Amino acid sequence: MVLTKTPSRGLAVAMCLLVQAAGMVVSGPGQRSLAASAQPESPNAAREGASRAPDASQPLVKLKPNQQSQIGLETAVLEAAPHPEQFRAYGAVLDISRITELTNSYANAQAQLQTAQARLEVAKSAFDRIRNLVESAALPKKEAEVAEGTFRTDKAALAAAESQLRTLAATAQQEWGPIVGKGIVERSPVVVGLIERDLFLVQVTLPPGVTITGTPGTALAQAPTRNANIDLAYVSPATRTDTRIQGLSYFFSAPGNSGMLPGMNTTVYVPSGNTYEGVFVEDTAIVRWQGRSWVYLRVDNGAFKRHPISTDQPVSDDDYVVRDIPSGSEIVIRGAQVLLSEEARSELRGGADDD
């Protein structure tokens, strides 16, 4: 294995401490790989060790076929394909105690309404019966007046119960929108799931000035407590924005076992409604160094070069759609971490030789 460029020794030392080699080294001037130590050195080994890629911004790591087999290196040619574009948004898990309060209040108001309806029916029947008896002179007129008073009182109580129910329904829609508000009134599965903590309500706010086409349907959130992504289900437009961001807002639901809790903030990726061309890259192909993400591209039969990528378009878990990889590139999908380790060790040796 041959490295073709020698960065600073300090960088190489840091890289070497972060990643450990899998029993191999990259050949440099005057050094031999462990895989080749039992064989006579090739006449071209020194020239390979001293070679450099003339225009490469990253060093080349060269591996012989048997060395690639030893580390279980696998590659794949990846083609670009259309994928849904996603915007980075801001998610906040909401406290739904107000939804619980409104749901309980509405249920109590419904019970009061039903009680008022029952009382009114009894009072009306009693009033009609007594009025007939008064008209037949079987009872004094005073009895009819008492029954009429009870009837009118119960009628007013029914009107008050109906008004209370309408007010709570309007309040629910005003605070949470027509979808969630109606769910509070009807005790929809989403609202019941929120109350029973089978679901959590996430307010997702887009950056200022960003809009999406149609309704988002689903979104993808980064789990705050574990290395995974969470599928969010669209609920409705939000009735208020996040005051810190001032963008369009939506309500989504997250599974109750997602690790989210009220008060948590997370990054959310929302489909824009548009598509773009990109290459699907699995997490096993990605290495991370200096706060960036990289993949290794095969540049010829035995040489590999580290290539920076953007991971702003996750698909699921730690898989991404990448736009800055040319379609048809051959990418290392297994063994990339070992290549990074070998690159670090070789750069360290190169720095020591310079000293």
Q: What is the pLDDT of residues 266-294, one digit of tens each?
A: 989 898 888 888 898 888 899 988 888 99
* Residue-level pLDDT at 318: 65
Same-domain status, 292 and 264: no
Same-domain status, 248 and 289: no
Pairing of strands 218-222, 265-281: antiparallel
Cα gap 225→23, rounded to integer Å: 34
pLDDT in tens, 139-149: 777 888 888 88
211 pLDDT above the threshold of 70: yes
354 pLDDT above the threshold of 70: no
* Residue-level pLDDT at 345: 83
Q: Is the dihedral of CA 110, 116, 118, 120 positive or negative?
A: negative
Same-domain status, 106 and 154: yes
| pLDDT average, residue stretch 298-312 | 87
Same-domain status, 133 and 179: yes
300: confidence class by pLDDT, cuts 50, 70, 90: confident
Same-domain status, 191 and 140: yes
- What count of residues does the chain have? 355
302 pLDDT above the threshold of 80: yes
Same-domain status, 114 and 182: yes
Enter the tokens of residue 324.
């800055």
Same-domain status, 269 and 206: yes
Name the CA dihedral angle for 123, 125, 131, 132, rounded to a multiple of 10 degrees. Answer: -170
Q: What is the pTM of this model?
A: 0.64
Q: Is 79 part of a structural domain of the chain?
A: no
* Residue-level pLDDT at 90: 93
Pairing of strands 229-237, 199-205: unpaired
Q: Is 3 part of a structural domain of the chain?
A: no
319 pLDDT above the threshold of 80: no
* Residue-level pLDDT at 25: 36
Residue that is last in its domain, among 160, 195, 230: 195
Same-domain status, 140 and 181: yes
Same-domain status, 102 and 183: yes
* Residue-level pLDDT at 196: 94
Q: Is 290 part of a structural domain of the chain?
A: yes
- Give residue 220's domain range: 87-94+198-276
Cα gap 308→311, rounded to integer Å: 10
**Percent of the residues in the chain that have a pLDDT greater than 90, as a whole number:** 40
231 pLDDT above the threshold of 50: yes
Q: Is 4 part of a structural domain of the chain?
A: no
Residue 95 near residue 260 (C-beta atoms within 8 A): no
38 pLDDT above the threshold of 80: no
Total structural domains within the chain? 3
Cα gap 108→111, rounded to integer Å: 5
Same-domain status, 299 and 244: no
| pLDDT average, residue stretch 32-55 | 33
Same-domain status, 106 and 185: yes
* Residue-level pLDDT at 273: 83
The CATH code of the domain that includes 231 is: 2.40.30
pLDDT in tens, 98-138: 999 999 999 999 999 999 999 999 988 888 888 787 777 76
